Amino acid sequence: MCREYLAADRRITPSTRATSRLFSDWQAGHVMIGPSLLAADFGHLAREVHRLEEAGARYLHLDIMDGHFVPNLSFGIPVVEAVRRLTPLPLDVHLMIANPQQHLARFREAGADYLTIHIEVAPNPTELLHEIHRLGAGAGLSLNPPTPVDRVLPYLDLCQIVLVMSVMPGFGGQSFDPVALDKIRALRAQSPDGLIISVDGGVKDGTIEQCAQAGASMFIVGTGLLGYPDYKHRLAQLSQIAQSARKTL
């Protein structure tokens, strides 16, 4: 488990963000594609994780769904613990749950390096973001397609990651909603130095290019990566598309 952050009840400075492994990798020029394990073959989880490591993944994304905030169930703490035992890669844990305040410590103990909560369930997330930092994790804030980007702007200085959902959360394989692009542009224009802008939902060939051009720095990919037989080739293909788009900024 990467203890990257000191407990703190203060706003994050650029130097604090620079200690984030994900931001450091992005700043070094790596394309930050996060394989979403929701699309993995859970009958062979260890094999899937090792294949993604060998393909060159720099972190893994885990979607936690509770059947309340989103209309589906995924997996919970035992799976996060199992993945933590399988890999030293950073674990980016997205809490799509109605009561994140009750579970932050348990997911951190299970191995989460980044914990992202939703503005829709925490309209004033200040204390929860502070709590994530006190636990030693990186803090993220996510917003769904119908949610105005203005809702998260007051809290950017408390986050390492802002995750823009380009589909309604709950199910994989949905089509990309282009409303995400305007949100990414707005966040990029107003983001403090070092903030990671991540996007999740329907990310594949054409949309990863659009997201990179809009200013996204991390891309969560499920079936657009794990739905292909050769993870290494597919990851390289997506990385090249995003890298080329990034050079046009």
Cα→Cα distances 199→5, 105, 161, 167, Å: 23, 25, 10, 10
List pLDDT tens digits, range 70-122. Answer: 888 789 999 999 999 999 999 999 999 999 999 999 999 999 999 999 999 99
Kindly state whether residue 2 falls inside one of the protein's structural domains.
no
CA 232 to chain centre: 20
| Of 156, 158, 174, 157, nearest in space to 71 by CA | 174
- The total number of structural domains in the chain stands at 1
Q: For residue 210, is it within any domain?
A: yes
Report yes or no on 3 lying in a domain: no
- Cβ–Cβ < 8 Å for 225, 238: yes
Within-domain flag for 49: yes
Q: How far is CA 143 from the centre of its chain?
A: 12
For the stretch 10-35, pLDDT in tens is 566 554 544 578 878 877 778 899 99
The CATH number of whichever domain residue 27 belongs to comes to 3.20.20.70
**6, part of any domain:** no
pLDDT digits (tens, 9 = 90+) for 194-246: 899 999 999 999 999 999 999 999 999 999 999 999 999 999 999 999 999 87
Q: Structural domain of residue 52, as residue ranges?
A: 14-247
In a domain, 41, yes or no: yes
d(C-alpha 98, C-alpha 91), whole Å: 21
Cα-based torsion angle of the residue sequence 172, 175, 176, 178 in order, rounded to the nearest 10 degrees: -150
The verdict on residue 231 lying in a domain is yes
From the list 25, 41, 63, 66, the catalytic residue is 63
Asked if residues 247 and 29 have their Cβ atoms less than 8 Å apart, the reply is no
Please state, in angstroms and rounded to a whole number, the distance separating the CA atoms of residues 159 and 126: 10
Catalytic residue, candidates 92, 113, 177, 200: 200
Cα 48 from chain centre:
19
Residue 21 has a pLDDT of 82
Residue 230 bears catalytic tag: no
Q: Looking up tokens 């060998």, which residue turns up? A: 54
